A and B are shown apart, each in its own frame.
With several copies, the nearest count.
Chain A
Amino acid sequence: MKTWMMLANAAPLFMSEMNGNEKIPFTGIIAVTLTGFAVVFLGLIILIAFVSLLGKFFESRSNKSKPDAPSAPKQEQKPAPKPAPKSPAADLNEEQAVVAAICAAISAMGDAEGTTYAVKSIRPRQASVRGARPAWYMAGLRDNTTPF
């Protein structure tokens, strides 16, 4: 108990004195541990609070808008209907990929018809450069030349 008492007297000082290049007293170890836990939990609990509030806000907004426009929000959020509960992640992602691929195809067609042109002349070219490059490519192309 004596050691403990000695440490106790040193304690208010040692946190600022610790340079980490020497062993730290056991009190210090415990203090760091507790502090660490406290900060981690504190931080993540603040996040829980924020995310929960955010979720409630969006759910309430989504509920409010549902009766008015039942189909609009569906488009906004991904339209994937989940039929079977098995491996939802895989399903969801594959569906998203398909959707993305279709979107890309549609937007590519739209481009081909030349209704909204402008830089399209540039982009189709790059499309052919990259040829098969995937879903994201078509979508991203327009923005890519713009900012420079």
Chain B
Amino acid sequence: MIILETLLQTLKDLWFESGLYAFVTSVDGLKSLAMILISFVFMFLAIKKGFEPLLLLPIAFGMLLTNIPNAGMYHPELWTGMNAAGEHVGIDYLQVMREGGLLDILYMGVKLQVYPPLIFLGIGCMTDFGPLIANPKSFLLGAAAQGGIFFTFILAGLFFTGKEASSIAIIGGADGPTAIYVSSKLLSGGGAIDTGTIALAAYTYMALVPIIQPPIMRALTTKKERSIKMGQLRKVSKTEKIIFPIAVTLIIGSLIPSAAPLVGMLMLGNLFKESGVVSRLVDTAQNAMMNIITIFLGISVGATTKADKVINKEFLLVMLLGVAAFSLGTASGVLLSKLMNKLSGGKINPLIGSAGVSAVPMAARISQKEGAREDPTNFLLMHAMGPNVAGVIGSAVAAGVLLSVFG
């Protein structure tokens, strides 16, 4: 009798505490349910449409987990860096460890700014800077395409605070880890947008690069320009490839120190690869290590997308600004390459300028594809790889500027 009563009472308690109850009885619950539906959309895009699944799938799953009411796997209040009185005192990692859920613990690697540089280490192991070394002018296109960041900053600055505008602008870098690095540093989760919002926009548009770029490229170039064939690149010696990452680290690190962690790790990975003497480390850095960190990064960044961070007009604005960022970056790159083509007397195909946004290697592929569309015997890929990898360095420098101003 008493047992049955207790049982019923307990079940009732469980029901009232359950997410199912929350879903149907509160506005927050309904918002969470909406967020979960949105996470399904991103899962669909990742799995069926192949939208950057390595990141978007874990992010979307983190989004699902964080929006299950009461699941307690992520606690945004631990990350504001404010005490009860609302004063800024810095994140209390001891509290995070005591009270945090699984995704809070994994998110530590984001807030400690560890994951993105380590992913850059792995990317460095897989990147060939040869085409850039062979044609260093490509750096200019990698710089121009950062217009995607800075022009977006102007637009975003009209609606958002400096830190938020920087986080949104960096989407234009078309570089996931850089965007997460900057936004996780600048955003405390107290405002309307958080790291997860930025990451969702960045990876979505990165997947959409093949749709966003071509119309812009065609609109800004003439048929004649698109048909320009470029000569073969010179062979780059192994020694140059070894000196390159060291020099870039030193030069960029000295010029803009806040870019050093990203650029430094990218270049360390590349040095590992080009040195040829530590293939054990190259293998692990680009496989096991990078994959582990990708998982941790994805689900914990996804966890920052609680309903109140996404179901608001700011999210729409971010998505709009994000597509603007990619478009402006593409346009900036193409326009500078048009100018360079003029100055060089018609030797540079302006299609390679769009590759400067990074989004390695997709953007370079699109340059190649658009070129081959005009003339199937036109091989632009290697020429586009130069601006493409230069864009990664350019974005990191731009990130450094934003961090040094607002960080």
Contacts and interface: CB of A to CB of B under 8 A. Distances in A.
B200 to A, nearest CB: 13
Contacts, number: 299
A121 B157 contact: no
Interface residues of B, number: 107
Contact of B136 (A15, A31, A47, A143): A47
B109 interface: no
Nearest to A16: B13
A145 B123 contact: yes
Interface stretch (B27-35, B92-100, B308-316, B359-367): B359-367
A126 B276 contact: yes
A148 B405 contact: no
A71 interface: no
B6 A33 contact: no
B146 A37 contact: yes
Interface in B278-323: 278-280, 282-283, 286-287, 294
B347 interface: no
B252 A15 contact: no
A27 B256 contact: no
B142 A31 contact: no
A123 B9 contact: no
Given A23-B157, A76-B237, A18 B9 contact: no
A83 interface: no
Contact of A123 (B13, B136, B140, B276): B276
A61 B347 CA distance: 27
A104 to B, nearest CB: 11
A contact face: mostly helix, strand, loop, or mixed:
helix
B177 A148 contact: yes
B360 A33 contact: no
A85 B361 contact: no
B52 A52 contact: no
A145 B52 CA distance: 10
Contacts of A31: 3, 6-7, 10
B61 interface: no
A130 B276 contact: yes
Contacts of A105: none
B405 A15 contact: yes
Contacts of B362: 119, 146
Contacts of A44: 139-140, 142-143, 390, 393-394, 397
B243 to A, nearest CB: 6
B264 interface: no
B394 A32 contact: no
B379 A148 contact: no
- Chain B interface mostly: helix
Contacts of A41: 140, 143
A112 interface: no
A121 B120 CA distance: 20
Contact of A34 (B3, B160, B368, B400): B3
Residue among A40, A117, A143 with the highest chain B CB neighbour number at 10 A = A40
B136 A146 contact: no
Contacts of A55: 133-134, 136, 234, 236, 240
Contacts of B123: 145, 148
Contacts of B233: 88
A20 B161 contact: yes
A101 interface: no
Centre residue among A35, A45, A142 by max chain B CB count within 10 A:
A35
Contacts of A137: 279
B14 interface: yes
A18 B406 CA distance: 7
B381 A147 contact: no
Contact of B382 (A11, A89, A126, A142): A89
B239 interface: yes
A130 B186 CA distance: 39
Contact of B14 (A39, A47, A114): A39
Contacts of B369: 117-118
Interface string B361-398: 11011101100000001010110010000100110011
A36 B126 contact: no
Interface of A: 4, 7-8, 11-12, 14-15, 18-24, 26-48, 50-52, 54-55, 58-59, 62, 76-78, 82, 85-89, 114, 117-123, 125-127, 129-130, 133, 136-137, 139-148
14 contacts: A12-B9, A21-B163, A32-B401, A35-B405, A39-B398, A44-B139, A59-B234, A76-B237, A88-B233, A89-B382, A118-B369, A121-B382, A136-B282, A136-B283
Given A32-B405, A89-B128, 11 more contacts: A12-B5, A31-B6, A31-B10, A33-B153, A37-B147, A45-B139, A45-B140, A58-B240, A118-B364, A123-B276, A146-B207
